[in-house]
Amino acid sequence: MTYRDALEALFGLTRFGEKMDLSVPRALNDALGRPLDAYRSVIVGGTNGKGSTSAFLDGLLRASGLRVGLFTSPHLVSFRERVRVDGALIAEDAVAALTPRVLAAHPSPSFFEAVWALAALHFAEVGVDLVVWEVGLGGRLDATNACDPEAAGVASLGLDHTAVLGDSLAAIAREKAGIFRAGRPALTTCEGEALDALRAAWPAVEWVPTRADLPPLPLPGAHQRRNASLACALAEALGAPLDLDALRSVQWPGRAERLGDVILDCAHNPPGAEALAAWLDEADLGPVHLIFGAMADKDVGPVAATLGPRVASVTLVTPDYPRRRAAAELRAAFPDRDVTVIDAVPEALEARPRDRVTLVTGSCFLVGEARAWLTGQDFPELGLRTIAR
């Protein structure tokens, strides 16, 4: 099996849909020789911020001398971004070698379950000390929760994926709190109603304040300072010596990432838009041009209402992704802005005004496509289009 063969096989598993059930991950772990027993685990969930928190935690743990595995989703440009060891992406050859073993271990895993199993097996075979698992969706029934974490953190709580997780903070809090374990550190940076909901679901959860001693962070915004603080608390809960300077070098693409005159941010729901807007208010960027696209299952109204007043002009695009929403359908969300529709993302980037900053946001998949174009990478990877998250 080649790397391309492996991706085609894995992407083909989307036919089994998305599953909220731990029976398959547990069966996969058993069939593959219980790789989860080979290392320690920590798990990070949240509506937003779980990827950045995981990246900060990975950096802190590696600086303490541990060999660390990191599992995240979705990827922006390359599938290999999902599985990292000591900061390095999994090799194409490893994906090609491990995929047949995972597929032989169960007749019908979902895409996410199979990729999680591939990561779990890879981490065991390369001999990591500890794995940072970023939750894919929810928490309680997410494949990542098949591990036995020594500590768990929830970065934020808001309304997203309501068709799956529930349409209230209380319901979503119950799903997020499912990653906590009795008698082990359960940490969060949630505040206000979100914190109340999480405490109702898990009374032992401990609130983590934003640290005052953080160094300048490469990921900007108050929300990233909260994420870094949660990562520090998790590292301390795991017994790792804390080297705050390690945070200075953490990179996590697509989070207010600056590439020349373009800023890329994966904000795709109302809480994410609010965090991005708060950073825009403090960043003093001057007039901002917005390139915006979204997925079909997202409520773009609140996102547009938050970002629209903060930008001078808007170009609406249709991301090169099967679950996208057509650009023309988004026009009504920006009634008071100067709006242009340019379906293709590369054309919109080429046509961007060069006298101001351009912000690309609305979807991780849009950000991935834009980042590939800006950095000269092929998109989609190997020409393979998929509905996989």
Beta partners for residue 348, in sequence order: none
Residue 68 and residue 179 share a domain: yes
306-353 per-position pLDDT tens digit: 999 999 999 999 999 998 999 999 999 999 888 999 999 999 999 999
N-to-C CA span, the chain:
23
Q: Label residue 163 by pLDDT band (50, 70, 90).
A: low
Residue 201 and residue 269 share a domain: no
| Measured distance CA(132)–CA(380) in Å, rounded | 27
Residue 309 and residue 231 share a domain: no
- Amino acid at site 111: F
- pTM, two decimal places: 0.96
CATH code assigned at 314? 3.90.190.20
**Mean pLDDT, rounded, of the chain:** 95
Whole-number pLDDT of residue 388: 87
Is 275 among the domain residues?
A: yes
Q: Is the pLDDT of residue 193 over 60?
A: yes
Q: Is the pLDDT of residue 19 over 90?
A: no
Whole-number pLDDT of residue 274: 94
Is 192 among the domain residues?
A: yes
Residue 269 and residue 240 share a domain: no
Residue 174 and residue 136 share a domain: yes
Residue 240 and residue 289 share a domain: no
The pLDDT of 85-94, averaged and rounded, is 98
The maximal CA–CA distance of the chain, rounded, in angstroms, is 58
Last residue of a domain, one of 189, 216, 249: 249
Is 389 among the domain residues?
A: no
Contact 332, 300 (CB under 8 A): no
Percent above pLDDT 90 for the chain: 91
Is 91 among the domain residues?
A: yes
Q: Label residue 185 by pLDDT band (50, 70, 90).
A: very high
> What is the domain count for the chain?
2
Q: Is the pLDDT of residue 166 over 90?
A: no
Strands (E), the chain: 40-45, 68-71, 83-85, 88-89, 130-134, 151-154, 186-188, 206-207, 257-259, 262-264, 288-292, 313-316, 338-341, 357-361
Is 291 among the domain residues?
A: yes
Side-chain-side CA neighbours of 72 within 13 Å: the count stands at 27
Is 304 among the domain residues?
A: yes
Q: 143 is in which domain, residue-wise?
A: 3-249
222-279 per-position pLDDT tens digit: 999 999 999 999 999 999 999 999 999 999 999 999 999 999 999 999 999 999 999 9
Residue 291 and residue 210 share a domain: no
Residue 239 and residue 152 share a domain: yes
268-310 per-position pLDDT tens digit: 999 999 999 999 999 989 999 999 999 998 889 999 999 999 9
Residue 335 and residue 223 share a domain: no
